[in-house]
């Protein structure tokens, strides 16, 4: 909303959104189409990557069953279509008195600076920087494990996987112990879904001619809790675990990792799991730079503490949403869980709250609604529970659950592209899959 400066010059409200994940990109898109298009607000999205992909899809990128180039969104194009500005870079500092953020220089692969350090003034700042894997300080994790926080990390894992299969196929002699074993640390949704996808991929590699003996391949999930999917109801976890065991995936519950080496994983019970390929999916935290960011309040997981309005506890001009926000779960103990559905809800809620703030209206409180949980085992099964205000919670499985699972992504696309373009993208995707391999082979 345009206001007047001291000298009478119109001043457009400057809004900076840091982070282009699910919540940040949806918020920028909604605000841009409503306020940016009319020139009422100048909206700038700061993001360290040039492209966006829905984070719940990263396990498919890692397995190679989804080509990231097919589903990724170019921020620059999305900004042009949706009337906001996109700036490539990574936030490094905040000056709350001057209402200014600093963005670190950007370098190319040769180490050459292509974008210098910049400063962006804001009237309203929204932090939506998501989460990163939490290694809990365990020795060897950072050195020897893959993470699935970004598209690049998922692509690096997929490249290592295909190279291992190609090497084993070409060698024509017995493999070293654990050379094709994949150990996944963390039995949450990401670890479980990745394991199922990798089981599919091992069969597809064979079908495409990379012949490797099944006995040379072992998939393991290592979980510190007594069972998989400890954060979800047992009626979801139990059928999921049965399905994984039927596929031959080893499940090691009640095993806490104490060290990771090049050759495998050591647990507190004295067990050693040989695996050359290791994935860490055992928990998340907010990025470390938030811990000491201009005196803003954070919790032990470095999340910014926010009030129910999503304003940070120490600064009314700064909001936070998604995984990086510790938001009270009204009516429940604790905070809103770091899940994609929460980020989507908060983006929609904050869009309206910011409009209220600009119009001088009172801000509302955010109430998280848990719509249930779904876990996809790829071609094998999908299981979950749906939450209804009238029916309560009920279990769904099979193709119905699969359709609901896919609809979550379609809703994300509809916010970004609208119903018509989403329908066209879906048709294009179906045609693409009909003429291309079911798994990425390079």
In tens, the pLDDT along 164-175 reads 888 888 876 657
CA dihedral 215, 221, 222, 225 (to 10 degrees): -140
Picking from 217, 146, 220, 200, the residue whose alpha carbon sits closest to that of residue 377 is: 200
pLDDT tier for residue 4 given thresholds of 50, 70 and 90: very low
Q: Which two tokens stand for residue 155?
A: 């692509």
pLDDT of residue 168: 82
At 63-97, the pLDDT tens digits run 888 877 778 899 999 999 999 999 999 999 999 99
pLDDT of residue 438: 57
Whether residue 361 is predicted with pLDDT greater than 70 in this model: the reply is yes
Q: Which two tokens stand for residue 221?
A: 């999930």
- When the pLDDT of each residue in the chain is averaged and rounded to a whole number, the result is 87
pLDDT of residue 386: 57
Q: How far is CA 280 from CA 145, 157, 183, 260, 265, in A?
A: 6, 11, 9, 10, 11
Pairing of the two strands 392-397 and 73-74: unpaired
Dihedrals phi, psi of 438, to nearest 5 degrees: -75, -10
- Cα–Cα distance for residue pair 52/409, rounded to 1 Å: 13
In the 8-state DSSP scheme, what is residue 175?
A: P
pLDDT of residue 383: 63
At 266-305, the pLDDT tens digits run 999 999 999 999 999 998 999 999 998 999 999 999 999 9
Whether residue 6 is predicted with pLDDT greater than 50 in this model: the reply is no
Whether residue 377 is predicted with pLDDT greater than 80 in this model: the reply is no
Pairing of the two strands 13-18 and 124-127: parallel
- Cα–Cα distance for residue pair 238/228, rounded to 1 Å: 8
At 324-352, the pLDDT tens digits run 999 999 999 899 999 888 999 999 999 99
In the 8-state DSSP scheme, what is residue 310?
A: S
Domains of the chain as residue ranges with CATH: 3-131+286-358 (3.50.50.60), 141-283 (3.50.50.60), 372-435 (no CATH)
């Amino acid at each position: 909303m345009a206001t007047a400066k001291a000298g009478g010059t119109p001043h457009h409200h400057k809004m900076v959104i840091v982070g282009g994940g699910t919540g940040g990109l949806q918020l920028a898109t909604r605000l841009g189409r409503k306020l940016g298009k009319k020139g009422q607000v100048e909206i700038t999205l700061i993001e360290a990557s040039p492209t966006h992909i829905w984070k719940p899809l990263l396990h498919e990128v890692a397995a190679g069953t989804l080509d990231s180039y097919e589903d990724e969104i170019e921020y620059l194009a999305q900004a042009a279509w949706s009337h906001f500005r996109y700036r490539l870079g990574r936030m490094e500092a905040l000056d709350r008195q001057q209402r200014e953020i600093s963005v670190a220089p950007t370098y190319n692969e040769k180490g050459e600076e292509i974008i210098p350090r910049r400063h962006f003034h804001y009237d309203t700042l929204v932090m939506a920087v998501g989460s990163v894997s939490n290694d809990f300080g365990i020795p060897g994790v950072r050195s020897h494990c893959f993470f699935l926080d970004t598209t690049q990390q998922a692509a690096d894992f997929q490249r290592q996987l295909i190279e291992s299969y190609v090497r084993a196929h070409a060698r024509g002699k017995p493999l070293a112990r654990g050379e094709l074993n994949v150990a996944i640390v963390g039995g949450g949704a990401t670890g479980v879904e990745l394991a199922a996808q990798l089981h599919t991929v091992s069969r597809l590699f064979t079908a495409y001619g990379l012949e490797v003996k099944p006995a040379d391949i072992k998939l393991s999930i290592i979980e510190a809790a007594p069972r998989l999917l400890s954060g979800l109801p047992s009626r979801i976890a139990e059928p999921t675990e049965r399905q994984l065991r039927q596929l031959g995936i080893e499940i090691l519950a009640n095993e806490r990792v104490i060290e990771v080496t090049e050759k495998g994983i050591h647990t507190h019970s004295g067990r050693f799991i040989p695996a050359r390929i290791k994935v860490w999916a055992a928990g998340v935290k907010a990025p470390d730079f938030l811990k000491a960011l201009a005196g803003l309040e954070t919790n032990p997981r470095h999340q910014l503490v926010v009030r129910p309005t999503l304003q940070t506890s120490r600064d009314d001009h700064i909001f936070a949403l998604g995984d990086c926000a510790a938001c009270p779960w009204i009516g429940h103990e604790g905070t809103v869980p770091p899940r994609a559905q929460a980020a989507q809800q908060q983006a929609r809620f904050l869009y309206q709250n910011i409009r209220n703030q600009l119009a001088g209206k009172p801000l509302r409180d955010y109430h998280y609604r848990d719509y249930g949980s779904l876990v996809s085992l790829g071609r094998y099964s999908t299981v979950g529970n749906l939450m209804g205000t009238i029916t309560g919670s009920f279990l769904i499985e099979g193709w119905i659950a699969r359709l609901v699972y896919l609809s979550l992504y379609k809703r994300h696309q509809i916010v970004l592209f609208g119903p018509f373009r989403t329908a066209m993208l879906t048709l294009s995707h179906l045609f693409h899959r009909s003429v291309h391999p079911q798994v990425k082979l390079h």
